[in-house]
Structure 1
C-alpha cells in the first residue's frame, strides 16, 4: 500500500511540541502496525532549517514550494512566529495551494493564524490557543472562533487548541484512519487519554482554579473541591465565607470569571469525568458523590460541557 503522506509546515518561531505531538504520534502508530503507514514530511520555505521557540533547530525534509502532488494530510504548526508566518505571502500562498491537494487540512495551536490568512477557515468554526483566540477573532471576523474546545473539526478542516491539544486531534485522525485499537495503542505509548472529547475545555477547571490571587476566593474554591457532595449553593457558600451573596458573586465574577453556581457545576462535572474514567461505579453513585441531585442532572451537565452523555464519555475513554 502507498504511504499515507502527512506534510507538516514549519517556520522560524515554530513550537517544537506543536510539531512533535503530531509526528511522534504518527511514528508510534507506524511502529505498532499502521497500514498503510504514515510518511511524515517536514516542509519549510527553501527547505531551510527552522529555529524553534526553544532555540532548537529542525531540518526540513523538503521545500514547501517544491511539493506538488496529492497527499493525505496538511498540518500547519503553531508557535510564537505564527504571525510572522501569516504575514509571509509566499508561505501562505503555498499553504493555500497544498490545501487543495490534501484530503484533510489541520493546524496545531496558533497555526490557525496561517490557515486563517490563507482563507481556509472562512465561514468555518475554529479554535486556537486560548491566549490568542480573541486576536484571531478580531483579525478574521469571517471565522467563528471558539476558544474553549481542545479541537474542532469542520468538514475536512480541523483546528486544535493550545500545544498538546494537537496530540488529541492526531489521535482522532489515527482512530479514523486505522481504528480504535491502534489509536489506543498510540495513546498508551504517549501516556495520553484516549481520547479527550474535542469539546473538552482547554482551560480545565483544575488548572483555571489556581489563577486567582484572592485569598478568600482560594479558600472558597478549596472548600468546594473538598466538599462536592455537600450543599454548595450560593447562600451556603456565602455563609461559609462570611460574606453576602451579592459580594460572593462579585468576587467570583472578578477572580474566576463565572458565577459561584457556574463554577460549582463545572468542578462537579470535571470530578465526575475523572470518576467515570478511573472507577466502575454506576452513574447514580458518581452523581451522588459529585453532588448532582440526580443522574439526569449529571447527564445534562455532561451534554452542556462535553457534548455527550456520561455513559458515552465513559465508553469513549474505556474503549
Structure 2
C-alpha cells in the first residue's frame, strides 16, 4: 500500500482533535506550566551536557565528512564569509586596527546533523497531523504544522540506554529495541516526558562510514506504540530515523508500523534525531531536564537543534 492509498484519518489510537481541530503543536501541548515545573525538579547537580553533533568545516574540505550522516544527503556547509585573513575580498575595517569575522551556514537537517522533525515532515493520504490538508506543504514551506509551530521544549526526559542494558558499546545494525528492553531500563515514564533512546550507533562511524551506512538499529513498532500510549511529548534518539534502517537507508516496516507515521502523523509527537548521547550514558541518570529549541523557520519540515541535558 502506498501513502496515497493509506487511510485519510488514522485508525486506532491517535491524538487528532484532542487539542482542538486547529491544533498544530501536537503532544507538545502536554508541556503545561505544571509539567515544566515538575521537570525542573529533576535537576540535582546543576551540570549541563550538550547532546548535539558538531557542524564542521566547508564542503571544500574533508571536515563535514568526518561527522555521522546518511549517504547521499547534502552535507552541512559552514564557511567564513569574512575572516580577516585568507578570505578578505570585500572586507573593510570596522574601526582603527579592528577587523570583523562573519560566518555563513547552509544546513539540510534531515540525515546530516542533530535536528528536530516538524509534524509536516511525513503524512499519509491527503492529510497532515490533525487533518490539516497536505496541500498546504508547498515549495515555499508548510503553512500548517511547520517547525515554527513547535516552539521551545523544556521537559523531563526518560532515558533508555539500551547498549548499557545489554552490556555492549552499541547495538548491531539489524537490532530492534523491544518493549521488554524499554521496561528493563526502569524509567518511570510520565505524560509530557521526552523519551530519549540510545542505540550507540554514532560509535559505528568511528570504525568506518561503510559500517554506519550498513543499516541502523532502532525502535520496533511495538516499542513505539508503548511509548505513544504513555503520552510522551517527544522522542529523541542518536540514530537517524528513530526506527531502524536497512542497508538502503530505508525502513523495512509497513505503513501500519512506520514510526514516523505513528509519532508525527497519528500522535503529533515531534522527533529529534542524530543526538550525541555518549557522555550522557556515563552520567548514570535515568531522568533529567531536557531543553531544546528549533530555529523559528516559518514552514520548515525540520530544524537543527542543540539539545541539552541538565542533570
Shorter-chain TM range is under 0.3
Answer 1 or 2: higher relative contact order, Cα 8 Å, separation at least 6: 2
Which has a greater percent of helix? 1
**What TM-score, normalized by structure 2, do the two folds share?**
0.26
